């Protein structure tokens, strides 16, 4: 199912560049005010009843469809995630009642700063914009009403920093204000100093397939920094890489080389000296960018660049990742040998921060596929998880690793199985041969996967494994046809995430039986909003 409506309002180059660099873009809607107010009244009712509907907030207020299905919103999502994006099951209304004024409003906002967790269990934080989040206010939300604050440029950070907190910008606006953000950007709630409850609703969307060409109104294929640049640091290497990825270019540094055609006056040794901790962040970033211009000729800089990974300052580590990727194959061995610096003791079921080495190897691409395949045989669980992630980030470039990733599905580690499923899904069509091994996870039970991993949500490993399996099959698309029977059974899975993602996968099989089953499910689950305790039928 693709979204090819002729009335879609696609983003332009400036908006996409702002999204890549700043981490968010605002969308203007052509929706009547009464629609927003109708949604707000439904959310008021939910609050009055004390019923947190969670993912069911959408059927509770079906008027949401008049917002989410507008040409502006769908056009923006197509622009950022491709025309076959997935509507992820997670939706949530954050209602914030009035508060007593704190002594320091800004300090309170900063204390609440965070990067969102993945639902229900941990997935890796990804630089490539594969997940997007809509933030929507149905009513006027000026600063006094406590809007969400966002820190531009923090979407690549491994963790929230004081510097990120200091850059908070309020996402304020009139009724119907809507933003799309990178999922991993740092943000936090404001302080509601008004006399009414502030409603903010989040919706999550996911890219299905790797980009083959720009899906927005693209007028030029070479990266340029946005005119409205709000990110505090120059991360051109990362930004241009992601731009070229979204353009479908196999050469992810084509823009960077086009923008830097002259070799720096300094030599590699002098530039390496500028990477010492005594230099300021701007000086270090300038030196790293100059080293990247040398490309593979900067091989002598590999040890110095590798030493900058996995530590603050965050802009330095992110730039070092992509500088190592411009060096390419000569950096693979050093990165592969460093992959084992972490351990599972740091694992969190909220979100998984992968090693910078894994990100760098993913950005290198083809020369790293075979070495990463070797790491999949490691005895260390953390190494194999990072290798799986890295291969998945390469999309179809990692097609040769499909057999090795499929072999990981036979292991006992639910974490490794989850990451291998994700990787196979992102590889997409070339992973069709692994579909029989993927689909068995929709029906298979293992006693050691029944442990509750998050006390607050009561999710178990089996839930996330089935979610990842259904997601992988949805991403593989028509190549998952042999899993139709398991996907049909998954429509009755007690985990709503699984059944919804299985529904999405079935819609892409182009099968009469699949289409009929989805139609029957939708009709059976249709919510009648007119029924209340006073009017039960």
The 10s digit of each residue's pLDDT in 511-526 is 899 889 888 888 887 7
Cβ neighbourhood burial of 121 (10 Å; 0-12, 13-18, 19+): buried
Going by pLDDT thresholds of 50, 70 and 90, the confidence category of residue 166 is confident
Going by pLDDT thresholds of 50, 70 and 90, the confidence category of residue 412 is confident
Q: Which fold has domain 386-537?
A: 1.25.10
H/E/C letters for each residue in 398-425?
HHHHHHHHHHHCCCCCHHHHHHHHHHHH
H/E/C letters for each residue in 187-246?
EECCCECCCCCEEEEEEEEECCCCCCCCCCECCCCCCCCCCCCCCCCCCHHHHHHHHHHH
pLDDT in tens, 310-331: 999 999 999 999 999 999 999 9
Whether residue 224 is predicted with pLDDT greater than 80 in this model: the reply is yes
pLDDT for residue 456? 66
pLDDT for residue 129? 95
Give the pLDDT mean for 284-309. 97
pLDDT for residue 419? 96
Whether residue 177 is predicted with pLDDT greater than 90 in this model: the reply is yes
Compare 47 and 36 and report the one with higher pLDDT: 36
**Of the given ranges (73-77, 199-203, 358-362, 454-458), which has the lowest mean pLDDT?**
454-458
Compare 40 and 453 and report the one with higher pLDDT: 40
Going by pLDDT thresholds of 50, 70 and 90, the confidence category of residue 118 is confident
Whether residue 1 is predicted with pLDDT greater than 70 in this model: the reply is no
pLDDT for residue 13? 98
Whether residue 342 is predicted with pLDDT greater than 70 in this model: the reply is no
Hey, which bits of 237-293 come out as E strands?
none
pLDDT for residue 341? 65
Average pLDDT, the chain: 93
Give the pLDDT mean for 337-342. 77
Give the pLDDT mean for 130-158. 96
13-206: CATH number: 2.60.120.620
What pTM was computed for the model?
0.95
Per the document, the length of the chain is 537
Give the H/E segment covering residue 96: strand 86-96
pLDDT in tens, 229-288: 999 999 999 999 999 999 999 999 999 999 999 999 999 999 999 998 889 999 999 999
State whether the Cα torsion 231-233-234-237 is positive or negative. Answer: negative
Whether residue 530 is predicted with pLDDT greater than 90 in this model: the reply is no
Share of the chain above pLDDT 90, in %: 78
Give the pLDDT mean for 370-390. 95
CA separation (Å) from 197 to 12, 61, 148, 200, 448? 35, 17, 14, 10, 44
Residue 156: closest CA among 332, 339, 356, 328: 356
Q: Where are the domains of the chain?
A: 13-206, 386-537
Residue 81: closest CA among 239, 206, 243, 179: 206
pLDDT for residue 352? 85
Going by pLDDT thresholds of 50, 70 and 90, the confidence category of residue 208 is very high
Whether residue 53 is predicted with pLDDT greater than 80 in this model: the reply is yes
Q: Helix (H, G, I), strand (E, B), or coil: what is residue 299?
A: helix
Going by pLDDT thresholds of 50, 70 and 90, the confidence category of residue 510 is confident
Going by pLDDT thresholds of 50, 70 and 90, the confidence category of residue 484 is very high
Share of the chain above pLDDT 70, in %: 97
**Of the given ranges (21-25, 61-65, 119-123, 245-249), which has the lowest mean pLDDT?**
119-123
Hey, which bits of 115-183 come out as E strands?
131-137, 149-150, 169-170, 177-182
pLDDT for residue 313? 95
């Amino acid at each position: 199912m693709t979204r090819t409506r002729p009335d879609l309002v696609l983003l332009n180059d400036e908006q996409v560049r702002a999204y890549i660099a700043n981490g968010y873009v605002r969308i203007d809607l052509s929706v009547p005010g009464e629609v927003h107010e109708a949604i707000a009244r439904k959310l008021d009712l939910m609050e009055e009843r004390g019923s947190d509907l969670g993912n069911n907030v959408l059927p509770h207020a079906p008027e949401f469809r008049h917002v989410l299905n507008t040409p502006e919103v769908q056009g923006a999502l197509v622009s950022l995630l491709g025309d076959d994006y997935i509507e992820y099951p997670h939706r949530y209304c954050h209602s914030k009642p009035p508060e007593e004024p704190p002594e320091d409003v800004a300090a309170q906002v900063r204390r609440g700063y965070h990067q969102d967790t993945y639902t229900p269990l941990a997935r890796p934080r990804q630089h490539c914009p594969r997940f997007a989040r809509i933030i929507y206010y149905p009513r006027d939300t000026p600063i006094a009403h406590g809007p969400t604050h966002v820190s531009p440029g923090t979407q690549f950070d491994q963790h929230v920093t004081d510097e990120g907190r200091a850059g908070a910008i309020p996402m304020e606006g009139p009724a119907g204000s809507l933003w799309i953000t990178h999922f991993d950007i740092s943000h936090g709630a404001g302080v509601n100093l008004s006399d009414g409850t502030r409603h903010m609703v989040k919706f999550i969307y996911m890219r299905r397939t790797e980009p083959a060409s720009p899906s927005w109104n693209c007028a030029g294929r070479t990266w340029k920094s946005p005119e409205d640049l709000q990110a505090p640091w120059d991360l051109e290497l990362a930004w241009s890489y992601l731009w070229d990825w979204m353009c479908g270019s196999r050469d992810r540094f084509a823009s960077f080389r086009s923008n830097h055609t002259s070799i720096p006056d300094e030599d590699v040794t002098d530039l390496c000296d500028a990477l010492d901790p005594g230099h300021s962040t701007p000086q270090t970033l300038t030196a790293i960018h100059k080293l990247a211009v040398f490309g593979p000729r900067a091989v002598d800089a590999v040890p110095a660049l590798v030493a900058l990974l996995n530590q603050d300052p965050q802009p330095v580590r992110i730039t070092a990742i992509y500088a190592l990727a411009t060096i390419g194959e000569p950096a693979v061995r050093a990165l592969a040998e460093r992959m084992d610096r972490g351990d599972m003791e740091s694992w969190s079921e909220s979100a998984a921060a992968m090693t910078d080495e894994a990100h760098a190897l993913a950005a290198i691409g083809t020369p790293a596929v075979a070495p990463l395949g070797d790491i999949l045989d490691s005895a260390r669980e953390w190494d194999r998880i990072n290798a799986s992630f890295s291969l998945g980030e390469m999309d179809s470039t990692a097609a040769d690793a499909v057999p090795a990733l499929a072999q990981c599905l036979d292991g006992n580690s639910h974490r490794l199985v989850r990451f291998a499923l994700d990787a196979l899904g992102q590889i997409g069509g070339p992973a069709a041969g692994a579909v029989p091994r993927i689909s068995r996870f929709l029906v298979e039970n293992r006693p050691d996967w029944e442990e509750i991993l998050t006390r607050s949500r009561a999710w178990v490993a089996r839930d996330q494994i089935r979610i990842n399996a259904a997601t992988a099959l949805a991403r593989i698309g028509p190549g998952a046809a042999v899993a139709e029977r398991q996907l049909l059974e998954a429509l009755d899975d007690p985990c709503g995430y699984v059944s919804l993602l299985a529904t999405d996968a079935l819609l892409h099989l182009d099968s009469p039986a699949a289409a009929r089953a989805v139609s029957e499910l939708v009709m059976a689950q249709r919510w009648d909003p007119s029924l209340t305790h006073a009017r039960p039928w």
